Amino acid sequence: MGFLLIKYSMKKYSRLIDLTCWQTLIDRYLHLQVNIGNKRSEHLDEAEMKYVESIVANDLTRFSGKTHSLKSAMIFYSTANSERGLHVDYFKVWNNYPTWALNIPILNGNNCEMQWYGGDFDKELKTTANGSESWHLTWKSTPVLLESELINQPTVVYVDIPHNVINHDNLPRMLLTLRFNPTLLPITTTNE
Sign, Cα dihedral of 46, 49, 54, 58 = negative
CB 156 within 8 A of CB 99: no
- pLDDT tens digits for range 49-94: 999 999 999 999 999 999 999 988 999 998 999 998 888 876 555 5
- Please name the fold of domain 14-181: Jelly Rolls (2.60.120)
Of 33, 68, 52, 166, nearest in space to 110 by CA: 166
Q: From residue 59, how far is each of 102, 106, 141, 169, 190 by CA, in Å?
A: 12, 18, 40, 29, 28
Q: Which pLDDT belongs to residue 63?
A: 94
- For the segment 140-155, the average pLDDT, to the nearest whole number, is 95
- For the segment 149-157, the average pLDDT, to the nearest whole number, is 95
What angle is formed at CA 124 by the lines to CA 39 and CA 115, rounded to 5 degrees? 60
- pLDDT tens digits for range 18-54: 999 999 999 999 999 988 877 788 889 999 999 999 9
| pLDDT at residue 12 is higher than 60 | yes
CA distance 71 to 52: 11
- pLDDT tens digits for range 95-133: 555 578 999 999 998 999 999 999 999 988 887 665 666
| pLDDT at residue 189 is higher than 50 | no
CA distance 107 to 33: 8
